[in-house]
Amino acid sequence: MDAYFYEAFEEEEEALRRHLGPALSFDFTSRTIQEAGHMAPPARLISIRTQSIVPVEWSQAIDGILSRSTGYDHLKAYQSKIQKPLPLGFLEEYATQAVAEHAVLLMMSLFRKLPRQMKQILQFQRDGLTGQECCGKNLLVVGVGRIGSEIVRIGQGIGMNVCGVDLIQRFDSLRYLEKEDGIAWADAILCAMNLTESNRGYFSYSLLKKSKPGTVFINIARGEHSPTADLIKLAEEHHLGGIGLDVYENEPDVASGLRSGMNPASSQVLHLLSFTNVLLTPHNAFNTIEAVERKSKFTAEQMDFFLRNKKFKWQL
């Protein structure tokens, strides 16, 4: 078998089969490596997303790993654990627009109290449902790279006052703030940072507590930026006006726990979801028809390149 794909959901598998064509031999599962229970790699080339934990010993039995993601912090973590050079590939950008739109979707939904609206439709009752309009509100984008800059553009397009926080100030047209000043100014805070060792736990309880009461917090980047226990504490204190997450701290454990039985990580997430001003999605911001098509095309290109060259076109 040329390749084995983990974490392939239904629409992705269909698109990958079209782009890979009949020349390669491959198979798919929707499960992660740890959920599949494979004791040995089923192919010399394996493909994952972000939730599979690749056993260290597999590095001696495979020729490469392709992550079907643009982020590669999980590949760097694996690279640091293994004893041999191993090609570790990722994908060219394919979902900037999709992820940016999803971030704004979460923000707007929380401004309009959508989770609570969905509960109260059963009584057709409007008490406590008065929301806010975006126009004129202060939007802070933390991490103004490809996705963050697209969030800035959308926010400005709907009449918001937009500022950024970033170590590198790439855009002359955008006003940048220090993080504490930005947190205190914002009506909505959107995290779009890459994950590094220095920004783990960035959105701590102590930092978000400096925000105005009623501020909305959104994370579509990496769950390690915003510790779940800190968000639960802020929700219990009714400090934040809303919390919207598409990514989760300890996400492999969260995903497997929600699918096949509770564990501490998934129980925390369910506790957070019990609040009426919380909106959670299953790491799905990338998932549009357009982005899945681009993703599948780039995956096929990576596979073809690797099988001809024994390295990836885009790799660590």
Q: In this predicted structure, what is the pLDDT of residue 261?
A: 85
Q: In this predicted structure, what is the pLDDT of residue 84?
A: 86
Q: In this predicted structure, what is the pLDDT of residue 104?
A: 98
CATH number of 3-94+289-309: 3.40.50.720
Q: Are 111 and 216 in contact (CB under 8 A)?
A: yes
Nearest Cα neighbor of 285 from 252, 246, 258 is 246
d(CA 211, CA 208): 5
d(CA 169, CA 175): 9
Helices (H), the chain: 10-20, 33-36, 73-81, 96-111, 114-120, 146-157, 179-185, 205-208, 228-236, 251-260, 264-273, 289-309
Mean residue pLDDT across the chain: 96
Q: What is the mean pLDDT of residues 294-299?
A: 97
Report residue 215: phi and psi, to 5°.
-65, 145
Q: For residue range 104-152, what is the model confidence (pLDDT) as tens digits?
A: 999 999 999 999 999 999 999 999 999 999 999 999 999 999 999 999 9
Show me where the domains of the chain are located.
3-94+289-309, 96-280
Q: Indicate the burial class of 123 (C-beta count within 10 angstroms; 0-12, 13-18, 19 or more).
A: exposed
Q: Which range has the worst mean pLDDT, 7-11, 81-85, 104-108?
A: 81-85
pTM for this prediction: 0.93
d(CA 76, CA 78): 5
d(CA 225, CA 196): 9
Q: Which fold has domain 96-280?
A: Rossmann fold (3.40.50)
**Is the fold of 3-94+289-309 the same as that of 96-280?**
yes
Q: In this predicted structure, what is the pLDDT of residue 303?
A: 94
d(CA 158, CA 100): 14
- Per the rule left: phi > 0, alpha: psi between -120 and 50, beta: everything else, 41 is beta
pLDDT at residue 292 is higher than 90: yes
Q: What is the mean pLDDT of residues 168-189?
A: 97
